[in-house]
Structure formats: C-alpha cells, structure tokens
Structure 1
Amino acid sequence: MTNTLPPSSDLHAFRGSLLYFHQQPDANIPDHQHCLNYHADGLLLVENGKILACGDYSALKESLQPHTPLTQFHNKLIMPGFIDSHIHFPQTEMIASPAPDLLPWLENYTFPTEKRFADPIHAAEISEFFLDELLRNGTTTAMVYCTSHKEATDAFFEASHRRNLRMIAGKVLMDRNCPDYLQDTAESGAVDSEALIQRWHGTGRQLYALTPRFAPTSTPEQLGRCGELAKAYTDVYIQSHVAESQAEVKWAAELFPNSRSYLDIYDQYCLLRPKAVYGHCIWLDDTDRGRMRDTQSVAAHCPTSNLFLGSGLFDVAAAEKSHMRYALATDVGAGTSFSLLRTMDEAYKVARLQQYYLPALQLFYHCTAGAADALGLAGKIGTLAAGAEADFIVLDPNSTPLLARRSTAANSLEELLFALALLGDDRCIHATYAAGACVHQREE
C-alpha cells in the first residue's frame, strides 16, 4: 500500500537531479557516498517554506496527490543555495576600483563611497540592487557588512526581511583612523548595535552580527564595549577582518603593542568564539590557527579579493592541517564577482599555487553545508534534508556552449561540478528559491 501525502495548498514538488552534503568530502576516499546525497532523477517536496522530503523520483512520486504542482528541471541540478561568509553591501557600486594595496583602496574609494549611506533612501536603493545580485548568482544567505550608519543597517534588514531571506548583517563600528563622517564612538556604536540587535536579531529570518571593521579603526574602548555586547548576547554573530595585508598587520602591531599577534587583539577582548567570522586570515601563524580552532572561530577565505589587492594567498593546507574552520566568500567590493562559482574557480587556483589540490566536491561543500555548519546553521540552511529551510538553487550545466560541451563529456559527479566551478558564472543559475518561493528566474 502506498502512503500518500495529505492534501496541502502550499505543497510544491520539484523534479531534477538533487545534490547536498552531510559532511566534508575527503579527497582520499574515492567513494563519496559517505559525505553526500545525490539523486540523478530526484524529487524535492516543499511545504510552507520548508523541505518536506527529498529523494529518488521513483520512490516519492506515488506519495503525491494528483494535483500537486510539479516543476520539472530537465538536465539541471538542484542543490542548496550558496552561502557567502563575507561581503560588503555598500561597496556594490565601487567594485573594480583600482588601488595598489588595501589601505589606499580604503582611503580613496571605500570611505568616500560609504559616506553616501547616511542617506536612508540611497541605502535602501543599494540594498535592493545588492540583494538582486546575490540572488542572481545563487546566494541565498550572506554575512554582510553595512556601514557605520544605523539607518543604512536598518534599510538593509528591511529589504531582506521583506523578501523573507536568511541574512546576517551588522552596523560597522569605527571610532578612530577613519574620516569624521564615518566615525562613531565607543558608546554610540554600542548603543546603536544593541538597538539593532533587539530590533532585528531573530526577526523573521534576520540575524545580527557585531561588526568592528578591523582592529586599527577601533579603540581599545570600542573593542571592549563590543566584547561586553558579545557576552550579553551570546547568540549573535561577530564579524571583522584580520591579517589581510602585511601593511595592515604592521599597523595593527603598532596600535596594539601588547598583543602577541593581530588575531590576539580580538582574543583579548573576548571576540573569538563560535559564530565569530574573520575575513582573510592570510598572515596567521600556527598558534593563531590553533586558537581559531579551539575557539571555533571561522575564517572567511576571499580569493578574488586577495588576488585583486595583492594581499596574499590563504593557506588552505595549513587551515586543513590545523582543523581551523573556514568558508568561502566573495568580499565584494574588493572581491571582483558576486558569483561563488567564480570564487570557487579562484580558490582552486590559489590552492594549486601552494601545491594543494581542492576537489570540486570540497569547494561546493564549503559554499553550502560546510558554511552552514561553520555559521551554526547546520540543518537550517545549506542542505536539502527534510526540515530545512527551502533555500535552493537550480544549476544549468548547459548554460553556455562551452560548459554544455564539457558537461556532456563529464564521466563523474566530480567532473561535472569541477566544470561548473571552473567555467560557471551567474548564467549557470537557472533559478533561485528562498523559503520555497522563486526569487530569481533566469531569462532565456
């Protein structure tokens, strides 16, 4: 006797190839069944914004009511939406701005651009465009830096909440070494942050991140107040930058002479912990990586940004050896693309420059289930397992003539994913779904 699902006006079925991970792939184990679920002809059932079931079409089709809406994605791959662990929404319109290094790039482009976000109307406009770009590139969750303006942070959350997206964001804290028009104080930054936490953290699908820009632009007093808020609100996120460029590392050492390392500055203010995500982490030593591991802090690996600014190469081998958590990130606007497929391409090449091999399965893991686990959201996003939030994308391996020809010749799932990572871009994203609703559909 076949078990039939009860009638539901909100139940929707999607047919296509299905892929999601449940643990990190091991390059030394050729059989990847231990780390993923793959259904060449699969059926995904979504109800009330959640995944109801996921499996082989042949096993699930008989459970459907006769009139259940069915969307068929022939020759396409359905997988969890991408998760970007480090990106700046105010820098959208200054992407691809030339500079010889990080610090002059901040001074000449970033700070003047962020000045405009004192205007809530401008902030709202850029928020909408930014979210459109994320969804067009298959990113359904991002860890987002706003500006030092409370109003701009409100504008971003309002736009995300209206679309029912799962986003993590925070007001930037800067009380020194920045233009007066962006500067807050240790007290005003803390007051604004607490008000934003109380308004937005846990409102719908929104989550808050305490966001000191980086140690050189915060006084010890501001980092101390940030640490106090982190203790008072143990479930909020923390995000900042660390050890991105050598000039920045030198500057941080001059400003905080009693710290063992750049990372140690944050540690002294109790800002290393689970849900703390630090961008770049290039110039860390083994002691730093061990501390990241022990505190369960997360490194956001931003290869397109690091290559663009010439900051250095993130050491994937050292991160893996130390068991330090990391996830991939675009870091727009120093990053040169909103696409995590393009980011995977650069991450692969950065690893190869250091004689390390990153399989495509591992790259996709770090943009989905791995990122969700690192952010404390395992089981909620980054998966197609029953009970998860229905954030998923539809990838088209035939989106360009070259990719179509290469995909046709793929002899394994690894080869197919490798082609998508090395040759793919926003054109591969056929559709993006958030909480079960289609939020992007590529025009044919």
Structure 2
Amino acid sequence: MNDTIKLYRGEVFDFTDSPLDRSDAFRYFPDGALVVKEGIIIDCGPFKELEDRYAGCERIDYSGKLIMPGFIDSHIHYPQAEIIGMYGKQLLEWLNDYTFPAEQAFSSPEHAERIARFFVQELFRNGTTTCMAYATVHAASVNALFSVASEYNMCMMTGKVLMDRNAPDGLTDTAVRGEVESRSLIEAWHKKGRNRYVITPRFAISCSNEQLKAAGRLHEQYPDTYIQTHLSENKEEICNTLSLCPGCRDYLEVYERAGLVTDRSVFGHCIHLSDSECRRLAEAGSVIAHCPTSNLFLGSGLYDMRQANRIGMQTTLATDVGAGTSYSLLRTMGESYKVQQLNGYPMSVLESFYKCTLGAAKALHLEDETGSFEKGRKADFIVLDYAATPSQQIRREYLERNGKWELENKLFGLQTLGDDRNIVATYIMGKRM
C-alpha cells in the first residue's frame, strides 16, 4: 500500500488563517515533510515525527528548499499572452490597439489550443497551480483552455467573454447569443473534473444593460458559478461608463442593478472606488483582484490595500497579463509591496503570500480543495529555491552570517528578487508538471 504514498522532505510552509488576524496564522517546519497519497495530502509536519510512520513509502528530498501550496492567480487574460510587454498606453487605447486585434484570432480552435497550452505551461513554470482566467468571446477559446487544463487535472476557472457593444465586429455577440452560448458552456464544463465556470461580462463599456442582466440571470440559474469583470481601473473608463449609464450614481451600481455583485464575484483592479462602493463590496463579500504590474504599466493608479483591509474588502493578488508584465506571482508580490509603500502602508510579506495562497482560496470558495496543506486537500504545491541567482545567494550568505536567515527574510527575498527561476518544481495533485 505504501507504494502509492510519497513523502516530500524540505522546509514546509503554509497558512492556517489570515496573518492580518493572527500572528500565528501559519505553519513552518524547517525540516518538514508533506505526505501525499494518490494526489491527496494525508499528512504534514516535522520530518522526524513522520519518517517512521511512513517508513516504507517513496521519499523525494528537497532539503533546503521551500515546499508550499501553489499560487492562485485570480485575474489573468490568457488570450493576451502574445501581447505582453507591448508599448504601454492607457487602458482604453491598450484595448483598441493591442487586445482586441489579438483576441480576434481566437475564432480559430487551433490557435486557441496553441495559446492555451502555452499559457498553462507558463503558469506551471511560474508556480501557479490555480487561476481565474478570461477567455475571449469565442466558445472555442473556452473549450481550449478547459481542455488543456483538464489534461493536467488543474483547477481552472474561466468563461466566455460577453461583449455586445463598443468592440470590433469580430468580438461582439448579442445579449441573447451570449446567454445561450454561456449556458451551453456551463453545462459542458462547470464542475466537470476540477473546472469551474466564470460568467464573464468584460466590463460595462462593452456590455449593454440587456447583456449585464442576462449575465445576472445565468448566475441566478447556476448559483455556484462565478462572475468576473473589471471595475474602476481607469478614470477615463469610469467617465465613459457613467455616460453610458446615466441613471447610476456610480460604477458599481451598474453591476448591482444586474445582480452581479455577489460573494462569488471577482472585480479586477478597483483602484478608484468611492467609500460607498468599498462598503458595498465588503458587505456583498465580493473579491477584488489587485493587479499591481498592470496598474503601474498602464498608469492606472495605486490600489489602497490598507483601506481595503480596514473596510473588510477581500483582496487577492493577480498578474492580469498582458497589460500585466509577468506571469510570476512572486514578481507581482514585489510590485504590490512597492505600490503599498507609495501609499504609506508597508505590507508584510506574510500578507502577500497569504493573498496568493490560502487567502485567495478562501476568497474563491476553494479552501476545501487547495491553498493549504490540511489533510484531504489536493496536492497542488510548489518547491522553491531561495537562492537561484547570484544576487539571491550573496544576500542569503549575508543573512546567515548575521544570524538573520529566518522565515520572513527568506520569503521577502523571494518576493523582492524572485521569479520563475526560483520555481524548482510545480505539482498538480501530486504529479510533477
């Protein structure tokens, strides 16, 4: 029986609660073990306590490396893989000049499959094991991403983008067709394997009131689906939205009227919110996906994490891609730290890592499946090298020499200097990708 059990030895780290609520919200075993059976976590703790209990099982030794839950990216555009790093403009110019032309190619199933495969493999290379992704208006783009993710048993969350105005002809549908195609995709993919469907009105500028209401109806009919859209990313976007929806007092009300503000809604960016919008989002239990590399690259603004925490808005970290500049949530954490420094809030490294692991899992109602090393969770985990580059190595030597090579300094080095080079291995349900 022990042939099916694997014990991974290394520095084992995960969260048990929010570090904003408790100082002891995490577990850290400097010489630890993670035990996996048939893709499921069955034990976790100090190696010396577990080595005899699992004496006959296969052992994989990552001593000196960090073993932790895989990252969860809560807002990312997979069809924009080809346009990452293009000359940065403001949001609406970016969409018209780069995004919409790139997305029109996804009418081809072959193109969609090629980019979906690249995208999933790039996530694994960066230590991301779960994501909530935007597809395009084409059903083929959704089928491709779910199909590729299913090959790896990855937890994938995505859905057909809904747009029926203010976009090129090749990217618009109608409220009726969008609802019909979305329903068909929900029936085909939602809760099949580890797939989750996300109802995806792109944003209010590209969705008529009829289409937003259709999205709300879909969620009412399938209440365990998710909703994702954009909110208050850019000041020009807000002005355009309110000019299209003159009866609404603010941007959030556009979505509230359509029944899209729920505890399963994820709003990207949310930089320029009023106090009233913040309170209403917190009361609804909605999630904000903070995308710092994108917000800086497009000059959109600085998200206020301290205000979000004070009000009780659930915030996760996300890469966005392609206006975001990296698939790496390590780099994203580093940029988030800089944004919050500009806001006068020195965000702790534990808060950053929490919002990419257990915090994101809780926000997305996935904490019973992923995000920690509790028994019964899927074995989605990553292995990191603290010193994959010469700069990281000399920093490590300095900290060791001064008796400061401790967990938070180790994590902060990964956050500040880390990227895909620090990812030694990515595991999905106990299988190395």
- Identify the TM-score tier after normalising by the shorter chain: over 0.9
3-state SS of the aligned residue for 2:48? helix
Asked if the contact 2:88–2:297 (Cα under 8 Å) also holds between the matched residues in 1, the reply is no
Tell me what 1:57 maps to: 47
1:382 aligns with 2:371: yes
Asked if the contact 1:157–1:200 (Cα under 8 Å) also holds between the matched residues in 2, the reply is yes
Tell me what 2:61 maps to: 72
1:420 aligns with 2:414: yes
Distance 2:273 2:110 in 1: 40
Tell me what 2:332 maps to: 343
Asked if the contact 1:286–1:322 (Cα under 8 Å) also holds between the matched residues in 2, the reply is no
Asked if the contact 2:31–2:63 (Cα under 8 Å) also holds between the matched residues in 1, the reply is no
Question: Which of the numbers 19, 32, 40 marks the counterpart of 2:30?
Answer: 40
Asked if the contact 1:11–1:48 (Cα under 8 Å) also holds between the matched residues in 2, the reply is yes
Distance 1:403 1:308 in 2: 26
Question: Which of the numbers 310, 321, 333 marks the counterpart of 1:332?
Answer: 321
The alpha-carbon deviation at position 48 of structure 1 amounts to 1.4
What does residue range 12-411 of structure 1 map to in structure 2 within 5 Å?
12-26=6-20, 32=23, 34-66=24-56, 68-408=57-397, 409=399, 410-411=404-405
The alpha-carbon deviation at position 277 of structure 1 amounts to 0.2
Tell me what 1:431 maps to: 425
The alpha-carbon deviation at position 26 of structure 1 amounts to 3.3
Distance 1:53 1:404 in 2: 31
3-state SS of the aligned residue for 2:3? coil
CA deviations over 1:150-208 (Å, ceiling 9, x no partner)? 01110111001111101100110000000001111101100111111111111111110
3-state SS of the aligned residue for 2:425? strand
Distance 1:220 1:196 in 2: 22
The alpha-carbon deviation at position 24 of structure 1 amounts to 1.3
One-letter amino acid of the counterpart of residue 87, structure 2 = P
The alpha-carbon deviation at position 9 of structure 1 amounts to 3.0
Distance 2:40 2:393 in 1: 32
The alpha-carbon deviation at position 65 of structure 1 amounts to 3.9
One-letter amino acid of the counterpart of residue 10, structure 1 = T
The alpha-carbon deviation at position 411 of structure 1 amounts to 3.5
The alpha-carbon deviation at position 139 of structure 1 amounts to 0.2
Distance 1:180 1:303 in 2: 31
The alpha-carbon deviation at position 56 of structure 1 amounts to 0.5
Asked if the contact 2:73–2:132 (Cα under 8 Å) also holds between the matched residues in 1, the reply is yes
One-letter amino acid of the counterpart of residue 296, structure 1 = G
Count of paired positions: 428
Distance 2:181 2:4 in 1: 39
Distance 1:241 1:417 in 2: 30
3-state SS of the aligned residue for 1:274? coil
3-state SS of the aligned residue for 2:281? helix
One-letter amino acid of the counterpart of residue 184, structure 1 = D
One-letter amino acid of the counterpart of residue 58, structure 1 = K
Distance 1:437 1:380 in 2: 16
The alpha-carbon deviation at position 8 of structure 1 amounts to 3.6
Distance 1:338 1:60 in 2: 35
Asked if the contact 1:146–1:169 (Cα under 8 Å) also holds between the matched residues in 2, the reply is yes
One-letter amino acid of the counterpart of residue 261, structure 1 = D
The alpha-carbon deviation at position 98 of structure 1 amounts to 1.4
Structure 1 regions of 5+ residues with no counterpart? 1-6, 440-444
3-state SS of the aligned residue for 1:62? coil
Asked if the contact 1:393–1:429 (Cα under 8 Å) also holds between the matched residues in 2, the reply is yes
Asked if the contact 1:394–1:429 (Cα under 8 Å) also holds between the matched residues in 2, the reply is yes
The alpha-carbon deviation at position 100 of structure 1 amounts to 2.4
One-letter amino acid of the counterpart of residue 287, structure 2 = V
CA deviations over 1:378-399 (Å, ceiling 9, x no partner)? 1311101111110000010021
Asked if the contact 1:200–1:208 (Cα under 8 Å) also holds between the matched residues in 2, the reply is yes
Asked if the contact 1:274–1:376 (Cα under 8 Å) also holds between the matched residues in 2, the reply is no
Spell out structure 1 runs of 4+ moving beyond 6 A. none
Tell me what 2:3 maps to: 9
Give TM-score scaled by structure 2 length.
0.97
Q: CA RMSD in A?
A: 1.0
Asked if the contact 1:241–1:278 (Cα under 8 Å) also holds between the matched residues in 2, the reply is yes
The alpha-carbon deviation at position 44 of structure 1 amounts to 0.6
3-state SS of the aligned residue for 2:74? strand
CA deviations over 1:360-410 (Å, ceiling 9, x no partner)? 111000000000000011131110111111000001002111112223414
Give TM-score scaled by structure 1 length.
0.95
The alpha-carbon deviation at position 255 of structure 1 amounts to 0.5
Distance 2:223 2:63 in 1: 45
3-state SS of the aligned residue for 1:134? helix
Distance 1:368 1:407 in 2: 24
Distance 2:297 2:395 in 1: 28
